[in-house]
Amino acid sequence: MDSHSSHLNAANRSRSSQPPSPSHSASASSSLHKRKLAASEDHAPPSTSFPPSSNDDLESLSAARGADSGSDPEESEYAVHDGYEEDFAPEPDQDSSIRTFTAARLDVNGSSRNAKIKTEEISTVELGAGTGTAGAIAPKDEAAKILTCGAYIAREEALRREEEAGRLKFVCYSNDGVDDHMMCLIGLKNIFARQLPNMPKEYIVRLLMDRKHKSVMVLRKNEVEGGIPLVVGGITYRPYHRQRFGEIAFCAISADEQVKGYGTRLMNHLKEHARDVDGLTHFLTYADNNAVGYFLKQSFTKEIYLEKDVWHGYIKDYDGVLLMECRIDPKLKYTNLSSMISKQRKAIDEMIRELSNCQNVYQVAEFQKKEGGSSKNIRVEDIPGLRDAGWTPDQWGHTRYTLFSGSGDSVTKQKQLNALIRGLLKTMQDHSDAWPFKEPVDPLDVPDYYEFIKDPIDLKTIGKRVESEQYYMTLDMFVADTRRMFNNCRTYNSPDTVYYRCATKLQAHFFSKVQAALQSENSQSQSIYHHRLTLLSNHRYNPSRRFSLRSQNDNVADSDLRYDFDLFTVGAGSGGVRASRFATSFGASAAVCELPFSTISSDTAGGVGGTCVLRGCVPKKLLVYASKYTHEFEDSHGFGWKYDTDPSHDWTTLIANKNAELQRLTGIYKNILNNANVKLIEGRGKVGLIIVHHASMYYLEEYGFLSLVCVQVIDPHTVDVDGRIYTTRNILIAVGGRPFIPDIPGREFAIDSDAALDLPSKPKKIAIVGGGYIALEFAGIFNGLSSEVHVFIRQKKVLRGFDEDVRDFVGEQMSLRGIEFHTEESPEAIIKSGDGSFSLKTSKGTVDGFSHVMFATGRKPNTKNLGLENVGVKLAKNGAIEVDEYSRTSVPSIWAVGDVTDRINLTPVALMEGGALAKTLFQNEPTKPDHRAVPCAVFSQPPIGTVGLTEEQAIEQYGDIDVFTSNFKPLKATLSGLPDRVFMKLIVCANTDKVLGVHMCGEDSPEIIQGFGVAVKAGLTKADFDATVGVHPTAAEEFVTMRTPTRKIRKGSSEMGVPYFISGERQVLRLKQLQGSREGCKIRLDLHHWSFLTRRTISIKSQRFYQWRCHKAHNHGAKLFDRVTYSTCRPDSQESLY
């Protein structure tokens, strides 16, 4: 469908009495679709009237609920739009963040996954985090209020009553020549034309009057005797009878009749008519952002399950819109949905009140940490997951409930459970094959056992937990420990060992006893255990398979009891994509979830490719290329180039082309995942669920639908993606980071690096706050594009953590290019002026007239709202995930790579970490990411390339080092006349001759440093460098031609100083002299400027320097020296200079 046409979900627009307008012009035209077989299709009757609904069929239930990703914020806040979400809206006197559910998460497509469970069965159920909270047991009066006041139910019932009274009529008309039908079609055409202003009227008329299209309409009775019924709205669709699917073309409700439930009611009638009259089984439609939310609530999905051969060639592909699918249930009475929900709510509430008698609250994570059941009862408000969701005892109607770690059977008598567990434990202890498991493994006997087995368990430990009578709150927990014991044995030992065979035999014996015990127990009480051996045999609860539970009589192989995935990655950036596709190449199953594409990151937007591809390295480098042309034009004059007019730059073209490239790249990443058989799921992932054990399950045998009481669950093997639950053996967090702006007055006027890459216009004058690599890169970009650039830093120098010489050099070079640095200034406020410009107030004063104020004050890990704190993942103070050397978090099943760990925040490092993780998990090759000698680049102007240790780090780690430096004018600058220079530096261990660090600032530094990264990683020596023939004429050859150290640093040197002037300020040269130097030694000082060299020689007397001043600097006070070096007259005692 061209679902720009669908404005049924635009509740907020209707409040303003303004007709909604589509976000962009229509592009999907069903009249243009390829219809190779259309001529031979059978045609359904041209018109059909719908009889009024009845209450006869109340046995089935739909499950068409989904997150409204396309709805407006106001709609989500008030939850008054059409669809099932209204059914779960909070009462007016409740906080909007708290939603009370008594029945939810119903699936119209669930009939193929029927679970044969009796009405009285007890089961654990789940609801993904972020979709609301569960009021499983509300007070009786409250429950009645919810049943009668649900927005969805109330409106559905009101419309149904109007149908029964004859005031409303739902019909299906087509262009059959009948006058009344044609009048109604014309009325519907007028509604489409008003509600879809960007849709060409000729296009609307052509499809509406096409005899192959049909229109389901809602008509209101005309109060005038004999008057034509009034058209309220309708849906136009094209049925393909042979293919048994239909395409929705238009969908709209009159502006003055919106927010009354017509949209959902109309869709329900359409589904019944299409199924019963046209024989259709599916609907397809194209939806834009304004319509996606509406169709999700009408049980449409973003995933297309209908085979492509069925619809391909009949529906044309369109850019910028989303193809969605709806499967029409063959039995469900859609128009009686509200009555069915009411009936099931009442039944579930009665069952919950009857069966829920557990009152203690336990936190599962504490059970796993403490032996002997030492966990204590806690208040429900103190549980992180419940507290964050806003649950309170008053809301539940009870003060306390019991949380369990698994989905096993509800046990109403704890003593009965303890007796059963003790009996099962004794059967294992007495078995002849139990001897390997009776005691913990002794590390003296098996030294490497605990290197492979991270979660050991044995019968002795299990026995202590059983004796406490408080540890195993369910049979599932006990079974999980025993199964882990057997799996540990089989993991460490090969199949041909006696230990492996003992584990297999004892496990078979154990589960046979469990089955016998359950059968015996079940014969005594129908309310306990109920055919749940399959779940007990399974390692863990798998909520995504709750519709395929098997009875205890099924013979289930162990290989069938697995997770949905071996690896589920949250975040499709560089590290996440690398780990996922490597995992599948090693034979594992993998999935990745990622937010929808956007060039600016947020809680609801991301994109496949991550920060580097969409908001970092790639777009930034493209802008760097664009900005460098300014310097190229300037340089070209010295080489003979002349221009009749000055070159101009179009910012809009640059941004448009950049965004087009990002779209191409994100498509490539999607193809990479698809080709690697990695499932890509769009949405926000949240880790862990909270399992509540006493919830009930209601089964309608005729239709096979389950109505579930929905509650959050804590489980470190589960990921919730916008309400869709997936289980996984391992979870990888690779969500990266996002820009950080300090909380100062006026911060709302500031932009970050994301926004700076996507500005609508080029800044005229920009303030950049920050002295890191991001600040310098954007300073170079905007300076190169002729913006006036001011950089504000809190310290004296830029690039904290880089080599001191490099910091000095790049600051001086950027200053020469016209960038103004404001050092030792901290931002205090941003002030907006009346003319729209901004002033930046700092600790030293205020600078006015900025068109933009950008903050490049660092990035923070993007760990908010992931649910990590609920499952026990430890976070650092800055929010980064703490990991070990293998990238594992404090929770054994959860791992993290990339910027979210705040180790080395570089794309190649994330790739390395992702690949190492995949090898560790799925190739039986534990691999630690090597973070030593990682090359990096700063794409400032001039750019920087560096690998290895800085001089300061080398002194600290090695003490004795030799430093080689070179500062020269590159060949290109000899004709351009510009003051461009290149700085190079080698740091060498004096004792081993090993090259410890390579640093460069100048043109092509990032390209050059990559090769020297290999040299440093390989541990090459200075002699290896000297033996290498250089490429001439290049700047890179300088690295292999530097022979004489600029300075030597040795342990135990003492500091002495001599004053000198730089830029008119008196400073002190810190000179390190060897201990034992004789008095009277002469020092030669070389003061270098880019255009000349000044040399002076002074003498030392009594370990003191004569005060010596540079004559030229002293007289003029403005000469800038790039560097100052010195040496003693003895050739073997050249020293370090600071």
Rounded distance, CA 352 to CA 315, Å?
48
Least confident of 94-108, 216-230, 689-703: 94-108
User: Is the pLDDT assigned to residue 1062 strictly greater than 50?
Assistant: no
User: Is the pLDDT assigned to residue 92 strictly greater than 80?
Assistant: no
Q: CA of 1059: how far to CAs of 361, 932, 1068, in Å?
A: 72, 39, 4
Which bin fits 887, alpha (ψ -120 to 50), beta or left (φ > 0)? left
User: What is the mean pLDDT of the segment spanning 562-575?
Assistant: 92
In which band, very low, low, confident or very high, does the pLDDT at 152 lie, cut at 50, 70 and 90?
A: low
Rounded distance, CA 26 to CA 9, Å?
18
Would you state the pLDDT for residue 714? 61
Cβ-based burial of 97 (10 A; exposed 0-12, middle 13-18, buried ≥19): exposed
User: Is the pLDDT assigned to residue 389 strictly greater than 70?
Assistant: no
User: Is the pLDDT assigned to residue 1007 strictly greater than 70?
Assistant: yes
Helical ranges in 817-905 per DSSP H: 868-871
Least confident of 624-633, 895-904, 951-960, 1083-1092: 1083-1092
Better pLDDT: 151 or 902: 902
3-state secondary structure string across 551-567: CCCCCCCHHHCCCCEEE
Specify the pTM. 0.51
Q: What's the residue count for the chain?
A: 1138
pLDDT 10s digits, 1107-1138? 333 333 333 333 334 444 444 443 333 333 33
Could you list the beta-strand ranges (E) of 979-1053.
982-989, 995-1001, 1047-1049
Least confident of 57-71, 366-380, 629-643, 747-761: 57-71
The dihedral formed by the CA atoms of 687, 693, 696 and 697, expressed in degrees to the nearest 10: 50
User: Is the pLDDT assigned to residue 338 strictly greater than 60?
Assistant: yes
Domains and CATH numbers, the chain: 144-345 (3.40.630.30), 409-520 (1.20.920.10), 564-692+710-723+884-929 (3.50.50.60), 742-856 (3.50.50.60), 935-1049 (3.30.390.30)
Rounded distance, CA 981 to CA 967, Å?
7
User: What is the mean pLDDT of the segment spanning 632-640?
Assistant: 90
- What is the percent of the chain with per-residue pLDDT over 70, rounded to a whole number? 66
Would you state the pLDDT for residue 151? 62
Least confident of 90-99, 181-190, 499-508: 90-99
pLDDT 10s digits, 538-563? 333 333 322 222 222 233 333 333 68
Better pLDDT: 1001 or 643: 1001
DSSP state of 112: G
User: What is the mean pLDDT of the segment spanning 154-172?
Assistant: 85
Rounded distance, CA 8 to CA 622, Å?
42
Rounded distance, CA 363 to CA 470, Å?
12
Would you state the pLDDT for residue 519? 61
Would you state the pLDDT for residue 259? 76
- What is the percent of the chain with per-residue pLDDT over 90, rounded to a whole number? 45
In which band, very low, low, confident or very high, does the pLDDT at 387 lie, cut at 50, 70 and 90?
A: very low
pLDDT 10s digits, 740-753? 999 999 999 999 99
Both structure tokens of 1073: 């002299």
User: Is the CB of residue 1068 less than 8 Å from the CB of residue 1015?
Assistant: no
Would you state the pLDDT for residue 772? 96
Rounded distance, CA 184 to CA 180, Å?
6
User: What is the mean pLDDT of the segment spanning 317-335?
Assistant: 85
Inter-residue long-range contacts of 892-896, CB under 8 Å, 24+ positions, other chains counted: 892/454, 892/455, 892/716, 893/716, 893/717, 893/729, 893/730, 893/731, 894/687, 894/716, 894/730, 894/731, 894/732, 894/733, 894/868, 895/730, 895/731, 895/732, 895/733, 895/921, 896/732, 896/733, 896/734
Rounded distance, CA 771 to CA 800, Å?
8
Q: Return the residue matching tokens 């990035």.
A: 859
Rounded distance, CA 883 to CA 902, Å?
10
User: What is the mean pLDDT of the segment spanning 49-54?
Assistant: 37
Rounded distance, CA 451 to CA 470, Å?
30
Would you state the pLDDT for residue 79? 25
- Give the H/E segment covering residue 672: helix 651-675
User: What is the mean pLDDT of the segment spanning 680-690?
Assistant: 85
DSSP states of 1055-1123 as a string?
EEEEEEEETTEEEEEEEEE-TTPPTT-EEEEEEEETTEEEEEEEEEETTEEPP---HHHHHHS-PPPSE
340: number of Cβ within 10 Å: 24
Amino acid found at 745: P
Name the maximum alpha-carbon separation found in the chain.
Answer: 122
pLDDT 10s digits, 893-918? 999 999 999 999 999 999 999 999 99
In which band, very low, low, confident or very high, does the pLDDT at 649 lie, cut at 50, 70 and 90?
A: very high
Would you state the pLDDT for residue 229? 86
User: Is the pLDDT assigned to residue 963 strictly greater than 60?
Assistant: yes
Would you state the pLDDT for residue 573? 95
- Which residue among the candidates 717, 790, 1032, 1089 is catalytic per the annotation? 1032
Task: At 80, give phi and psi (nearest 5°).
Answer: -115, 10
Minimal CA–CA distance to 406: which of 290, 280, 532?
A: 532
3-state secondary structure string across 1113-1137: HHHHCCCCCCEEEEEECCCCCCCCE
- How wide is the angle at C-alpha 664 spanned by C-alphas 658 and 670, nearest 5°? 140
1032 included as an active-site residue: yes
Would you state the pLDDT for residue 1123? 45
**Count of helices and strands (H, E) across the chain:** 33, 37
Would you state the pLDDT for residue 567? 97
User: Is the CB of residue 851 less than 8 Å from the CB of residue 765?
Assistant: yes
pLDDT 10s digits, 1069-1086? 444 443 333 344 444 454
User: What is the mean pLDDT of the segment spanning 428-457?
Assistant: 88
Better pLDDT: 116 or 1086: 1086
Beta bridge partners of 985: 965, 999
Rounded distance, CA 81 to CA 74, Å?
10
Minimal CA–CA distance to 70: which of 295, 254, 249?
A: 295
Least confident of 467-481, 647-661, 819-833, 1061-1075: 1061-1075
User: What is the mean pLDDT of the segment spanning 622-628?
Assistant: 96
The dihedral formed by the CA atoms of 629, 630, 633 and 635, expressed in degrees to the nearest 10: -100
User: What is the mean pLDDT of the segment spanning 407-423?
Assistant: 62
Least confident of 17-31, 422-436, 476-490, 708-722: 17-31
In which band, very low, low, confident or very high, does the pLDDT at 875 lie, cut at 50, 70 and 90?
A: very high
DSSP state of 747: G
Rounded distance, CA 665 to CA 619, Å?
11
User: What is the mean pLDDT of the segment spanning 402-412?
Assistant: 33
Rounded distance, CA 571 to CA 901, Å?
13
Least confident of 94-98, 672-676, 940-944, 1131-1135: 94-98
Least confident of 28-42, 272-286, 449-463, 822-836: 28-42
Better pLDDT: 627 or 690: 627
In which band, very low, low, confident or very high, does the pLDDT at 823 lie, cut at 50, 70 and 90?
A: very high
Least confident of 220-224, 342-346, 621-625, 629-633: 342-346
User: Is the pLDDT assigned to residue 9 strictly greater than 50?
Assistant: no
Rounded distance, CA 818 to CA 824, Å?
19
Would you state the pLDDT for residue 418? 81
Q: Return the residue matching tokens 């979210």.
A: 900
Would you state the pLDDT for residue 334? 86
- The chain-wide mean pLDDT, for the chain, equals 73
